Amino acid sequence: MEVMDTDEATSLLLDRLRRGDHQALGELFALHRERLGRMVQMRLDRRLYGRLAAEDILQDAFLDVARRFGEYVVNPTVPVYVWLRYLTLQRLHQVQRRHLGAQMRDAGLEVTLNGQAGMSAHCESLAGELVGHFTSPSQAAMREELRNQLLQALESMDPLDREVLALRHFEELGNNEVAAVLGISKDAASKRHIRALKRLRTLLEPYESTDA
């Protein structure tokens, strides 16, 4: 049996929703749930670890999606995943503001649909994800050394370049989706991605051939 890719499955589910099949909305959210969960985990304030789980945010976000899906159908200006991501990120922002109040990082920034989101990926999360790809748990000393180098490189990177890196490699968005999320042109998104990769390549290359 041929396995349907995500884009094709999304298109079919949207067709069912337009025909009034409300069950398809749960299936649509489930199709993208894993990616949305990674996005939440990467942006969850570290002070809330243990108090909040990505699944809590996703459950609330689905209620928002169900309530507002009619708005998207009438005017689908962005890919549906970008819209789902926007509502999920908005819910995360609201929950963190409720828990942290004035202590919340970037508390004055709002999440927007077209343009840069107010909550960027944390450098610590990005560095940890990258280290996990290039070293094994048994290489503790090497992992810590690489993590520190990556953290320094990420913190010195243009924030928008860093966000492109997070969107492409950890949220697994395509270039068109990245452009839609950040409100920049596709060409600009591509150039920023290439620039960010070049900044990290010299750090990562020595680890690519290291035995686990």
pTM above threshold 0.85: no
94 and 158 both lie in a single domain: no
Is the CB of residue 128 less than 8 Å from the CB of residue 182? no
79 and 12 both lie in a single domain: yes
pLDDT tens column, 133-163: 666 666 767 778 888 888 888 888 888 888 8
**For residue 192, is it within any domain?**
yes
Phi, psi of 51 (to 5 degrees): -100, -35
Which of residues 72, 103, 134 is at a domain's end? 103
Tokens of 173: 């968005």
16 and 94 both lie in a single domain: yes
10 and 98 both lie in a single domain: yes
191 and 131 both lie in a single domain: yes
d(CA 162, CA 141): 25
91 and 139 both lie in a single domain: no
Averaged confidence pLDDT in the chain? 83
- What single-letter DSSP state applies at residue 163? H
147 and 203 both lie in a single domain: yes
Range of the domain at 50: 6-103
Q: How many domains does the chain have?
A: 2
Provide the residue type at 149 as one letter: Q
Q: What is the CATH number for 172?
A: 1.10.10.10
pLDDT tens column, 35-60: 999 999 888 887 887 788 899 999 99
**For residue 47, is it within any domain?**
yes
70 and 132 both lie in a single domain: no
Would you say residue 205 has pLDDT above 90? no
37 and 99 both lie in a single domain: yes
27 and 87 both lie in a single domain: yes
197 and 146 both lie in a single domain: yes
**For residue 118, is it within any domain?**
no
Lowest mean pLDDT of 23-37, 97-111, 156-170, name the range. Answer: 97-111
pLDDT value of position 51: 84
Helix axis angle for 175-182 and 186-208, nearest 10°, is 120
Lowest mean pLDDT of 36-50, 64-78, 106-120, name the range. Answer: 106-120
**For residue 109, is it within any domain?**
no
Region 1-7: mean pLDDT is 68
**For residue 117, is it within any domain?**
no
Rg (CA), the chain: 18
15 and 48 both lie in a single domain: yes
